[in-house]
Structure 1
Amino acid sequence: MGSIDEDEEGDELACDGEAVQPSSDSLAAPRAASPVLIPAECLDEEGVGSRSATSVEWGSNEPRMGDEDNLRVDVEEMGREPRSFKEAMKFPQWHEAMKKEIEALEDNRTWSVVQLPEGKKALGTQWVYKVKYNSDASVERFKTRLVVFCNHQVEGINYNDTFAPVAKMVMVRTFLAVVAVKNWELHQMDVHNAFLHGDLSEEIYMKLPPGFNKGRPGAVCKLHKSLYELKQTPRCWFWLQR
């Protein structure tokens, strides 16, 4: 299968697209086939794979690196947060975390894979890695997040209003005071990955995530749901609650 052709990860935030055939406007279908990861030894310093690379599937139990020494991870190295996709691919814990993140985004119908329309540009993407710890300093989980490079979004083209109203603290304190005076029960809740549920009204295209391979040259992701770091993501969540 083919691999990613464009620079997906680096110190600079880049988002150059390629002009190809128009895309389909249909929503993403449920995940039909597992996306593919490229082995670490087949990646260059920017995390871009060569076309001769042998693919590694997200669904595998461990990433096949070709060198078993890469999988002998001591506690110190395992707890260190990777600084690049290529580095993360050396550790099965991060490989599994990226797999789950991609599956969750596809199950949420966050995007559909299409060809980039002529005259459009695709925003770049990057993986962010974070080790979550328990109160006793033991590792709770390995968390990954796929973010979009929003610094190349153009106002009026792929975003408009970005503000989202929030409750002032004085109102929150007043509400809590009323609850206390009237001896009411108070409940709270948390929405898991809240920002990922907002619907986008703008036409936004995103480069394939680092390591993501659909075997379609020129393919990009057309976003249907908001994603982390998009300028309008908080506002999309606000409108969803109305």
Structure 2
Amino acid sequence: MGIFKPKAWLSEAIDLDKIEPRSYKEALLHPRWKQTMLEEYEALIRNNTWSLTPLPQDRKVIGSKWVFRLKQTPSGEIARLVAQGFNQDYGIDYFETFSLVIKPTTIRLVLSIALSHN
């Protein structure tokens, strides 16, 4: 009736440290992913990223979700706890956002080009 994709079974051994978990429960079963989650949580606390506040009666709780990715980093994996922002209202649930998406070398390049063109 619908789309069907048969399961593929691998004949060779799988390195569980090289698989991205599909849930936090699955990640907690692997020591390296559990450590990565702990490091992410500690970074959020250390950077004062959020604070607990009483929930006003007319508001809903904004959920969060763990995102797991294998990346080319010294540790080899990244776990991020992200807010489900599609439920947020500016000025009520948050007042500012910040996400560094540009590298300092890119800024220097753009400024150099701007200076060369007066």
| TM-score interval (norm. to shorter) | 0.5 to 0.7
- Cα offset for 1:104? 0.9
1:163-185 C-alpha deviation (Å, 9 max, x unpaired) = x9x99x9x945614858xxxxxx
Stretches of structure 1 that go unaligned for 5 or more consecutive residues are 1-73, 180-242
Which residue is equivalent to 2:76? 141
1:125 aligns with 2:69: no
1:4-57 C-alpha deviation (Å, 9 max, x unpaired) = xxxxxxxxxxxxxxxxxxxxxxxxxxxxxxxxxxxxxxxxxxxxxxxxxxxxxx
User: Which has a greater percent of helix?
Assistant: 2
Quick one: structure 1 residues 151 and 76, their matched pair in 2 at CA, closer, same or farther if it must change by over 3 Å? same
Residue 122 of structure 1 aligns to a residue in which SS? coil
- Cα offset for 1:158? 3.0
Which residue of 25, 44, 57 maps to 1:105? 44
> TM-score under structure 1 normalisation?
0.33
1:176-201 C-alpha deviation (Å, 9 max, x unpaired) = 4858xxxxxxxxxxxxxxxxxxxxxx
- Cα offset for 1:110? 1.7
Which residue is equivalent to 1:86? 25
Q: How many residues align structurally? A: 98
> TM-score under structure 2 normalisation?
0.63
Stretches of structure 2 that go unaligned for 5 or more consecutive residues are 1-12
Root-mean-square deviation (Å) = 3.6
